[in-house]
Amino acid sequence: MKLFRLLDRALVDYNFFIAFAAVSLLWLVDFQFDAQLQVASYCFLFTSTLLTYNVFRTPYQSISHFWNNRNMRFYIVVGSGFVASICFLQFEIGLQVMFVVLGFLTASYKFSFFKIPSLREIPFLKLPVITAVWVASIAIFLIHRPVNPAIYMEFQVLMYMQVFLFIAITIPFDVFGLIEDDMPTIPNHFGTRKALLFSKIAILIYGMLPLIFGIERFLIPAISVTLITFGVIQFTEKLKDKAIQYYCLDGILIVQTLVYFLFQQDQ
């Protein structure tokens, strides 16, 4: 039981779980469009996500002093940064340039460059920045590759869907106080009830996009993910354990991949 609790804190406090969720999202795009991405792509996304979240995300106060050890966080940041750098060198120049731009955007969220205020200081910019970085970090891997025009529309629709999915699961993080930010957010301005309503509207749009664009193979999986996400938002609203709230919200990305994989196997 103690070992499980330590593992639980490691996955949440040091952001290994969200890194696995990022990899699952990349795999979703990979098998849906037969992109045949190299191992370095997965390794880079995992380690760069681990690096980014351990630098930017402040975990909730853990009962375990071991998992709050700053040295441990430092080792994870350095190690993940080193591995990400090696993977980065395996990419083509065009892909490297796109990730440099994306990395600068990510860093600009927290740090100020050239006497320009950080993006976090601009009211209500948190949600679009986080959504843009997440979706772009997945889309970039396919944008620079030749994609069959017949499925390019499907790829675009899937990316649009991810935009609304990230909106739906990011707002509750602010509502439930999982991420402490000294900046204006939707819950701060509109209140908890309206913020959660925005979140639910976003996930409903996610489920409607395949129907609007006529992508039949996405329709049933999208409806399934919509219902699951809607239920998760309702469920986590009543929880007090922040670790479980993390698992539920970040875990939606993994659940989405599993749902699409299972329904594709039936086709």
User: The domain that contains 76 carries what CATH number?
Assistant: 1.10.600
pLDDT digits (tens, 9 = 90+) for 33-53: 888 899 999 999 999 999 998
Rounded to 5°, angle at Cα 9 from 3 and 11: 100
Q: What is the pLDDT of residues 79-121, one digit of tens each?
A: 999 999 999 999 999 899 999 999 988 887 776 666 666 666 6
Q: pTM (2 decimals)? A: 0.87
Residue 207: closest CA among 194, 220, 222, 217: 222
Per the structure, how many domains does the chain have?
1
Task: Compute the Cα dihedral for 141, 210, 222, 167 and give only its sign.
Answer: positive
User: Quick check: 180 pLDDT over 70?
Assistant: no
What Cα–Cα distance (Å) separates residue 162 from each residue in 97, 139, 191, 205? 23, 10, 25, 11
Please give the sequence-ordered ranges of beta strands (E in DSSP) within the chain, or none if there are none. Answer: none
The answer to whether 109 and 118 are in contact (CB under 8 A) is yes
Q: How confident is the model at residue 63 (pLDDT cuts 50, 70, 90)?
A: very low
Domain carrying residue 147: 2-265
